[in-house]
Amino acid sequence: MNNPSPASQRGGDSEASIKRGLWSSRMAFVLAATGSAVGLGNIWKFPYVTGENGGGAFVLVYLFCIAAVGLPIMMAEILIGRRGGASPIRSMGQITRRDGHHRAWGLAAVIGVLAAFLILSFYSMIGGWAVSYISTSATGQLTGLSADAIGEIFSGLLGNPWALLGWHTLFMALVVFVVIRGLRGGLERAVTILMPALFVLLLIVVGYAMTTGHFGEGVAFLFQPDFSGLTTAGVLVALGHAFFTLSLGMAVMMAYGSYLSKNVSIAKTSIVVSVMDTGVALLAGLAIFPIVFANGLEPGAGPGLIFQTLPLAFGQMPWGSLFGTLFFILLTFAAWTSAISLLEPVVEWLEEKKGMSRGKSTIGAGIACWLLGIVSILSLNVWSDVTPLGMFAMFEGKTIFDLLDFVTASVMLPLAGLLVALFAGWIMTREALQNELAMSARSFSLWYGIIRYVTPVAVAVVFIYNLL
């Protein structure tokens, strides 16, 4: 899904890359951006937050956030990156200096890099869960088990900090390994096969879900809006998730945009990436909820949802061990390409700010993330009763892991996104924007109106509502 380390092309051999390389093609960019966007957010997080927030109404708000907030911001991030032509923090600096804007706008990129760092720490832990299920499935341990037995396997994993630490370490090592070396054509090619393969496997599980006799119930849960189940906090989760799943607010798309050649349409590319990302999430929902209802499970079971439902499906379908193993390999791969893109901005920042070599910055950032990840691991078992901000009603019962998730996805990402929208919509010159987007006058006006008014107002309203 990815050529996430375009740095490997920096100073590369193509004619266009005197100083910094460019993506070899539009396709390479689409793959890298999709590889970043499609990850645990789609298959792990989307179903469980949908389940926790009552289904259809949440999905509707989420789709609205993707279209009215996510897509326009994705375009803005890519265009800022391309115009700045450097790492995110430097790109924002570059544009502000060149066009005489206040330097404080660079804050958006700083929040983004910090958020990327925090997210990667727990993302790697969840990536580790996916890796561990490859072996659980391959050794046939899931075959024919009841829902209870599968639940026990999962809680056994969470209750074992040493096992979690091992998988977390393995996952982080995989990420560091790739970011240090930079990716070459090999993985880019592999991605063109693995991405469609993930799609096909999801379709197979959806096919199985159709045979459970509860498919209609699953579809209704996802698509029949019942607003009584949706709280204002749920709306904030939907907004935050739109940023998370599209890899926005973390300077990732800015970093990737900086390697994009001038003659690629930012709008079309962003639409392709958003549609694919949303498609994978909805397919995951269609695969999972029928299984939930068929087995009398709880849709609001939380972060363990896919690890308690999908193994049931694989345990019952023919060739289940094979499909299950393949599925978790692909899930690991999807998580891997996203994690790589999370580490990249942190590494670029260390290289630029601290003048460290690529090897040193990658290992340093990797170790720091790995250490912080241990906190999330412990909060699932040894520290499961530790709720540092529990005295505030809003954070009642939230463990450190829950807080990290909340602070990043629901606070930092929307905030960084808001700054990006304001910067693009109100600070950058219309000429600069028009020049980058190169759209018809009508489409440009539509985007301009959305990024100036709709996006900031939507984000601000949801925010303020939740703080009051």
- Interface residues toward ligand PHE, by CB under 6 A: 36-37, 39-42, 244-245, 247, 250, 252, 338, 341-342
Reading the block at residue 342, the tokens are 């999370």
Burial of 117 (0-12, 13-18, 19+ CB in 10 A): buried
Residue with tokens 């018809």: 440
Nearest 10 degrees: CA dihedral of 296, 299, 300, 301? 60
Contact predicate 245/46, CB 8 Å:
yes
Q: Which is nearer to ligand PHE, 147 or 339 (CB)?
A: 339
Residue with tokens 């539009």: 26
Q: To the nearest whole angstrom, how small is the minimum distance from the Cβ of residue 54 to ligand PHE?
A: 21
Q: Which is nearer to ligand PHE, 147 or 416 (CB)?
A: 416
Q: To the nearest whole angstrom, how small is the minimum distance from the Cβ of residue 440 to ligand PHE?
A: 30
Q: How far apart are CA 258 and CA 408, in angstroms?
A: 24
Q: Which is nearer to ligand PHE, 316 or 410 (CB)?
A: 410
Q: How far apart are CA 44 and CA 287, in angstroms?
A: 12
Q: To the nearest whole angstrom, how small is the minimum distance from the Cβ of residue 243 to ligand PHE?
A: 8
Q: To the nearest whole angstrom, how small is the minimum distance from the Cβ of residue 301 to ligand PHE?
A: 19
Contact predicate 313/75, CB 8 Å:
no
Q: Which is nearer to ligand PHE, 34 or 316 (CB)?
A: 34
Q: Which is nearer to ligand PHE, 147 or 409 (CB)?
A: 409
Chain CA centroid to CA 195, Å: 15
Q: Which is nearer to ligand PHE, 343 or 458 (CB)?
A: 343
Q: To the nearest whole angstrom, how small is the minimum distance from the Cβ of residue 441 to ligand PHE?
A: 32
* Sign of the C-alpha dihedral computed for residues 5, 11, 12 and 14 taken in this order: positive
Q: To the nearest whole angstrom, how small is the minimum distance from the Cβ of residue 315 to ligand PHE?
A: 25
Q: To the nearest whole angstrom, how small is the minimum distance from the Cβ of residue 383 to ligand PHE?
A: 25
Contact predicate 157/132, CB 8 Å:
yes
Q: Which is nearer to ligand PHE, 127 or 218 (CB)?
A: 127
Rg (CA), the chain: 21
Q: How far apart are CA 400 and CA 403, in angstroms?
A: 5
Contact predicate 346/120, CB 8 Å:
yes
Q: Which is nearer to ligand PHE, 164 or 413 (CB)?
A: 413
Q: Which residue is nearest to ligand PHE (CB)?
A: 41
Q: To the nearest whole angstrom, how small is the minimum distance from the Cβ of residue 231 to ligand PHE?
A: 23
How distant, in Å, are the alpha carbons of 63, 210, 318, 404, 430 from that of 214? 24, 7, 19, 35, 52
